[in-house]
Amino acid sequence: MKDNNMDIVYDVKGLNLWYGDNQALKDINMKIEKNKITAIIGPSGCGKSTFVKTLNRMIENVDGVRTSGEILYYGDDIFTNKLKVEELRTRVGMVFQKPNPFPKSIYENVVYGPKIHGIKDKKLLMKITEESLRGAALWDEVKDRLNENAYSLSGGQQQRLCIARSMAVNPEVILMDEPTSALDPVATMKIEELMEDLKKDYTVVIVTHNMQQAARISDKTAFFLNGELIEFDVTSKIFGTPKDQRTEDYITGRFG
Amino acid sequence: MKETRFNIDENRIKRRIMLNNRVRDLFSVVIVLVMAILLVLLYRIGKDSIGWLDLQFLTSNLSIFPEKAGIKGAIIGSLYMMLVVIPITLILGVATAIYLEEYANDGKVQRFIKINISNLASVPSVIFGLLGLTFFSRMLNLGSSILAGGLTMSLLVLPIVVVAAQEALKAVPSFLREASYGMGADKWTTIWRVILPVALPGILTGAILAMSRAIGETAPLVALGIPTLLMRIPNSLMDNFTVLPIQIYYWTLDSVLTREYTFLAAATIVVLLVTLFILNSIAIVIRNKFQKTF
């Protein structure tokens, strides 16, 4: 019974995750659709970051993590060896909470991915750099200083550089773990504007602490609480007519 | 409303300030004393070397006439030995550190190895000399050649390089690793392209300090039976050799017989000190230049 529906990127089935003895995700079932922005909201410690890091297996870098259940990525279980973790992470890019460019030039940051995949042609690399930086709405700001160190950029620019860097390997999905939580409102707005363009080419899963952000940018929203997926629906429904009382309590600000 | 109150004793505050000042004075005196001892030593050595330390001294062979004697042989011996020590310690040391920090799981065996490498760094150097004598000189039949000396010295400074490289690797922020893994990079690509470039200044600093230790170390070579009096200049790794600190040792010992040897020893000490000073300065410059990346 393989799910061959190409509009479903991720099919999460009965996912459990433990940090040692502490269960962080409880029986998550969720389908993530192609070319949509899926927002994950919930209070601190609800497992939303853990969940998104499980989607590209980054969570396995933490000691003592165990999982059960399966996550199908276009029909392939990511926990089996059919899909190498390096391949999964090439097809699924990630943008982290804190901007984390390499201490190299802006150009070297963008071409890091293409280079490790063996691309050496200078012209092609330059083309990838321009396209990726344009895609992340950063090109006009940095086109004359591609050889400057990435740490000379502002925090918001660094985060867009990280988005450009992940776009440079042509991923199908971009995971974002609270990408604007370390940024000021203006930089946050720029990244939100960018999201609308991103979903034309990518499937985006974004974890956010900020409910207004989820309401503004996402097509679908998942509400996590204490490691459980409480409600997952079209964003307007989650914020308009939630089915679960806990979702309503959270989005109306009664807790969290 | 806060209920508990106590009176502040102003005399107590005064006493504490006084104590602070006395402690500061005490520490100042100690540092002045230490510096003074050092300066007296440097002054005496410097004074003794005047008139003896010149180009002729650096470029001449040993001689039975003190006026003609030079340290060319010892300089070349030290250089040759470093030619063995530098590649061996860098390659083995960095590889060990990479394995321990990046590849090894944090199991009991790994922790045991890590603790013991730190312990090895504090083993007396003469022990390494005896190990070298047994293993390199006798079992591998290398005698007291440059190769035997270089390998022994490598063993001595290897733990220092490993520990320094481990610290440098540990100091690489984890968000850089995450960024690389998140792009689909494998471990070695991440180490080679991201971690090593960031850790390199730290590794180099540690390596240079280890090298200056190797240049100045005497005991392990004495244990190996490195000849103190060598008239011939070595020209291959299998030749016998002598090094600067051994030369100092020899001239100091024999200064009882020939008074001029005191001056030769002093001049050699100055050469060695200047070399070490330059090496340590390079290490400091590298550290300062690169530590502000983040």
DSSP string, A122-142: HHHHHHHHHHHHHHTT-HHHH
How many residues in total does chain A contain?
256
Size of interface A-B (CB pairs under 8 A): 65
Q: Are residues B16 and B158 in the same domain?
A: no
Average confidence (pLDDT) over B164-169: 94
| Average model confidence (pLDDT) across chain A | 92
Check A112 against B193: CB less than 8 A apart.
yes
Give chain A's contact residues with B (Cβ, < 8 Å).
Answer: 56, 58, 61, 63, 86-91, 93-94, 96, 98, 100-104, 112-113, 115-117, 151, 162, 165-166, 169
Contact B224, B152 (CB under 8 A): yes
Strand ranges of the sheet holding A37-41, from the earlier edge strand across to the other edge: A92-95, A173-177, A203-207, A37-41, A220-225, A228-234
Q: Are residues B183 and B274 in the same domain?
A: yes
| Average model confidence (pLDDT) across chain B | 87
Phi-psi region of A125 (alpha: psi -120 to 50; beta: other; left: phi over 0): alpha
Structural domain range at position B194: 57-290
Q: How far is B186 from chain A (nearest CA, A)?
A: 6
Of all residues in chain A, the one with the smallest CA distance to B186 is A86
Q: How far is B4 from chain A (nearest CA, A)?
A: 37
Q: Are residues B111 and B18 in the same domain?
A: no
Which of A87, A110, A116 has the most B C-beta neighbours within 10 Å, making it the best mutation to test the interface with B?
A116
Q: How far is B203 from chain A (nearest CA, A)?
A: 17
Band of residue B229 on the pLDDT scale cut at 50, 70, 90:
low
- Output the domain CATH number for residue B131: 1.10.3720.10
* Residue B238 resides in a domain: yes
Q: Are residues B133 and B204 in the same domain?
A: yes
Of all residues in chain A, the one with the smallest CA distance to B187 is A86
Structure tokens at B136: 């390199």
Of B180, B184, B197, the CB nearest to A90: B184
Nearest to A148 by CA among A190, A185, A180, A105: A105
Domains and CATH numbers, chain A: 8-251 (3.40.50.300)
Q: How far is A231 from chain B (nearest CA, A)?
A: 28
d(CA B131, CA B202): 29
d(CA B183, CA A112): 9
Q: Are residues B19 and B83 in the same domain?
A: no
Planar angle of CA B261, B240, B127, nearest 5 degrees? 85
Q: Are residues B43 and B83 in the same domain?
A: no
Q: Are residues B29 and B115 in the same domain?
A: no
Average confidence (pLDDT) over A29-39: 95
Check B184 against A112: CB less than 8 A apart.
no
Q: Residues of A with CB below 8 A from B182's CB? A: 56, 58, 89, 93-94, 96, 166
Contact A230, A223 (CB under 8 A): yes
Which range of A12-16, B67-71, B249-253 scores highest in mean pLDDT? It is A12-16
DSSP H or E stretch at residue A213: helix A211-217
Looking at residue B142, its pLDDT comes to 84
Check A63 against B186: CB less than 8 A apart.
no
* Residue B139 resides in a domain: yes
Q: Is the pLDDT of residue B262 over 90?
A: no
* 3-state secondary structure at position A71: strand
Check A116 against B183: CB less than 8 A apart.
yes
Q: Are residues B174 and B85 in the same domain?
A: yes
Instruction: List b or e across A216-252, with b for residues whose CB sees 16 or more CB atoms inside 10 angstroms.
Output: ebbebbbbbbebbbbbbbebeebbeebeeebbbebbe
Domain count, chain B: 2
Q: Is the pLDDT of residue A147 over 90?
A: yes
* Residue B4 resides in a domain: no
Which of A52, A55, A86 has the most B C-beta neighbours within 10 Å, making it the best mutation to test the interface with B?
A86
Of all residues in chain A, the one with the smallest CA distance to B192 is A116
CA–CA distance from A247 to each of A206, A210, A222, A239 (Å)? 18, 14, 10, 9
Q: Are residues B42 and B71 in the same domain?
A: no
Q: Are residues B102 and B40 in the same domain?
A: no
Of all residues in chain B, the one with the smallest CA distance to A167 is B183
Average confidence (pLDDT) over A209-213: 90
Q: Residues of B with CB below 8 A from A94's CB? A: 182
Q: Per-residue pLDDT tens for B79-100?
A: 888 999 999 999 999 999 999 9
Q: Residues of A with CB below 8 A from B171's CB? A: none
CA–CA distance from A1 to each of A4, A5, A13, A16, A170 (Å)? 9, 12, 13, 22, 29
* Residue B281 resides in a domain: yes
Of all residues in chain A, the one with the smallest CA distance to B194 is A102
Q: Per-residue pLDDT tens for B198-210?
A: 999 899 889 988 9
Check A100 against B181: CB less than 8 A apart.
no
Q: Residues of A with CB below 8 A from B176's CB? A: 100, 102-103
What is the share, in percent, of chain B residues with pLDDT greater than 70?
97
What is the share, in percent, of chain A residues with pLDDT greater than 90?
79
Band of residue B231 on the pLDDT scale cut at 50, 70, 90:
low
Check B293 against A165: CB less than 8 A apart.
no
Long-range contacts of A28-31 (CB under 8 A, 24+ apart): A28/A69, A28/A228, A28/A229, A29/A229, A30/A222, A30/A229, A30/A232
Strands A220-225 and A228-234 turn out to be antiparallel
Q: Is the pLDDT of residue B250 over 90?
A: no
Please give the ipTM for the structure prediction: 0.89
* Residue B2 resides in a domain: no
Angle between helices B72-98 and B244-253 in degrees, nearest 10 = 130
Check B176 against A102: CB less than 8 A apart.
yes
* Residue B168 resides in a domain: yes
Check A58 against B179: CB less than 8 A apart.
no
Q: Are residues B26 and B101 in the same domain?
A: no
Q: How far is B92 from chain A (nearest CA, A)?
A: 26
Q: Are residues B218 and B234 in the same domain?
A: yes
